[in-house]
Structure 1
Amino acid sequence: MKHVSILVPKSNTILSSVVGPYKIFKSVNDFILQTGKSQQPFFDINLVGIDKDTVLYDGAFSVHCDATIYDISKTDLIIISAVRPEWITDGIKTNYEFIPWIKKQRTQHNAEVASLCLGAFLLAETGLLDNKQCTTHWAGIDLFRQMYPKIDVLPEKIVTDQEGIYSSGGAYSFLNLIIHLVYKYCGQEAAVYVSKLFEIDISRDNQNQFAIFRGQKDHTDTLIQKAQLFIEDHVTEKISVEQLSDMLAVSQRNFIRRFKKATANTPLEYIQRVKVEAAKNTLESTQNTINEVMFSVGYSDTKAFRSLFKRFTGLTPIAYKNKYNRELVSF
């Protein structure tokens, strides 16, 4: 039997990321018992908090935990539930008592640890992710990189698995991580069963198609903000780094350094991401051909545009249009 501790951080936990893993692990137990594969359930599951009761969504819901971290001396698997974005700045302090407990379980009892969505921020605070791979919600990638430069962030990944440390991408992609853990612990038959029961697409391995690029403007470098606005206002044109640095009267080397520091992107990457985001919006909302869309964002080489689009979205332009165009998609 494997003991699972599903952590319930104070205040801003995403309720579905507590209920989802709980229900899936419970269903695996039912499957194992019903099929006669074992006489006892595989997972012993506890909801674990700093306090027994946690109020969520401004009082709309509450979670009653089976135990607190002070009751659990040893566990095999820790699930760090997803949290709301506004949790990140103040929530780490509010839930800091989890951190030494997680570290102790990992270092003294070799517990495995999995973070769901933005729960990766709490896992990163333990230092257990240093020099390891991790993913999180695409909306938190830039902040995560700024706060934890020692971690190898893989923004496109749905699931990462390295030396007993796991993470999932954004929102409901945590379901794919839970299925991954079921497969690892209980085998393919159990994983396929619960994926069918909960209708989870187990083939998903890339979250880039869901990402929305808004540009990183929460910095104080006004010169770089001018460059960003120029790029976004001239999406139909071909823009070079040389053109931008000349326009702003700074050397290319200094411009590139400042741009990367402010936005976490090189100027070229930023230009490309803005153009791809504009192309995505056009593919979603119009019946323009791929070539028309390509020309509208300043590209003329079909092969280069296709390659760039797929690098940032994980899909070809035509596949993206077929999947997300408002007139083609049936709801």
Structure 2
Amino acid sequence: MKSKPVRIAFILPERVWAGSVYLTQELLLVAGTLLSASEDIAASMLFEIHLLAAGTARVKSFAGLPIKADLALADSGNYKVVIVPAQFAPTGEMKGHDSAYAGWLTVQHAQGALIVSLNGAVLLAKSGLLNDKQATGPISERAIFARHFPKVRFTPGKRIVVNDQIICCGGINPTVDVCAYIIERFFGQHAARKFVRHTTTDTLQGHEHLAVWSAQFKQHKDAQVLAAQHIVESSLAHMPDLTALAAAVHVSKRSLSRRFTDAVGTSLRSYVAECRLEMARLLLRTTDLPLTLLADECGFGSTSSLVHAFSARFGSSPLRYRQLQPGSSI
């Protein structure tokens, strides 16, 4: 029996980039046709997508293209995913319907929605949801964040930043990667891989891939555990010991171990192991690195340790896994 489509909302602020809306909408729609091998968009739809406006039924993009909203914010209900698209020349001040969008985003996030900024971090920052969090977006917005949103750690050099049910993208290219994450989150790895094979020849860098993959383990509010997770993901090859990791996030070893398990649902040791295995899978899919170098990159002590852990977890040796990837000539 076909599962019910996942509800996704795009908000339509003033001077929205129409391409940001329509490209992402069509990528998410095509995912269903790819999975079902059908051209029937309605029958194969994975996502029920609504375009929402706070004011009039039509919103003009910054280039003057009219975009018709499906619903008003007040009539929209709850969503699993909310997408904040790019705006042309946003400002730090609350203008027009900004306060309505900001309040609505806060409510949706509190009710469990995944919030995705596609270069829409300024509007998202007006909701307060980015306070004390890292975010990314165009470098041209650095001054806006410094002046109006000093509590946000704005890092425009990052392509993707993930924290607390919020994903921020900088630039256009990561749009496909974020769509793949949304597809995998709700419909599994098979659907996501099929989508990626047909929509891009690029791949996320390792640490960015882990940031997106690990979002499923970051749906908690413990800031120090989140900080520890970020350190783990960026330090797989040279992992700090528990003493150094606890010191880096300003808690005791015992407290970190307990709080990590409570927040993430698995022990720190198990989390490190899962991150290493996920990184190994990525490198096997996207590189021709020999196993000796791949084992070093992922933090396994030796090639034999990599082979043993990978085979036990996935039921296939690393080389066999690589051979089974589409396009493999090995």
Q: 1:52 aligns with which of 50, 57, 62?
A: 57
Distance change (3 Å), C-alpha of 1:176 and 1:103 = same
Distance change (3 Å), C-alpha of 1:205 and 1:136 = farther
> How far is 1:147 from its partner?
1.9
Distance change (3 Å), C-alpha of 1:91 and 1:31 = farther
Q: Secondary structure at the match of 1:45?
A: strand
> How far is 1:8 from its partner?
1.3
Distance change (3 Å), C-alpha of 1:79 and 1:193 = same
Residue type at the aligned position of 1:173:
P
Deviations 1:35-82 (A, max 9, x none): 8xxx863311111112321122353x1111111111112111100011
Q: 1:31 aligns with which of 34, 54, 70?
A: 34
Q: Secondary structure at the match of 1:175?
A: helix
> How far is 1:138 from its partner?
2.0
Counterpart residue number, 2:112: 110
Deviations 1:209-240 (A, max 9, x none): xxxxxxxxxxxxxxxxxxxxxxxxxxxxxxxx
**What is the alpha-carbon distance in structure 1 between the residues aligned to residue 104 and residue 161 of structure 2?**
22
> How far is 1:202 from its partner?
2.7
Distance change (3 Å), C-alpha of 1:185 and 1:69 = same
Give yes or no for the alignment of 1:21 onto 2:21: no
Identity %: 20
Counterpart residue number, 1:152: 153
Residue type at the aligned position of 2:113:
A
Give yes or no for the alignment of 1:99 onto 2:140: no
8 Å CA contact retained: 1:114, 1:167: yes
Structure whose alpha-carbon radius of gyration is higher: 1
Give yes or no for the alignment of 1:126 onto 2:127: yes
**What is the alpha-carbon distance in structure 2 between the residues aligned to residue 113 and residue 155 of structure 1?**
18
> How far is 1:161 from its partner?
1.4
**What is the alpha-carbon distance in structure 1 between the residues aligned to residue 115 and residue 201 of structure 2?**
22
> How far is 1:6 from its partner?
0.9
Mapping for residues 104-253 of structure 1, pairs under 5 Å: 104-107=107-110, 109-117=111-119, 119-199=120-200, 201-204=202-205
> How far is 1:200 from its partner?
5.3
Query: Please, what TM-score do these two structures have when normalized by structure 2?
Result: 0.54
Q: Secondary structure at the match of 1:70?
A: helix
Deviations 1:121-141 (A, max 9, x none): 111111111122211112212
**What is the alpha-carbon distance in structure 1 between the residues aligned to residue 27 and residue 127 of structure 2?**
27
Residue type at the aligned position of 1:169:
G
Residue type at the aligned position of 1:116:
L
Query: Please, what TM-score do these two structures have when normalized by structure 1?
Result: 0.54
> How far is 1:98 from its partner?
0.9
Distance change (3 Å), C-alpha of 1:155 and 1:139 = same
**What is the alpha-carbon distance in structure 1 between the residues aligned to residue 145 and residue 44 of structure 2?**
41
Aligned residues: CA RMSD: 2.5
Q: Secondary structure at the match of 1:160?
A: strand
8 Å CA contact retained: 1:175, 1:200: no
Distance change (3 Å), C-alpha of 1:57 and 1:155 = closer
**What is the alpha-carbon distance in structure 2 between the residues aligned to residue 68 and residue 200 of structure 1?**
37
8 Å CA contact retained: 1:137, 1:171: no
Distance change (3 Å), C-alpha of 1:200 and 1:62 = farther
Q: How many residues align?
A: 199
> How far is 1:204 from its partner?
5.0
> How far is 1:148 from its partner?
1.4
What residue ranges of structure 2 are gaps of 5+ in the alignment? 209-330
Q: Secondary structure at the match of 1:122?
A: helix
> How far is 1:160 from its partner?
1.3
Give yes or no for the alignment of 1:7 onto 2:11: yes
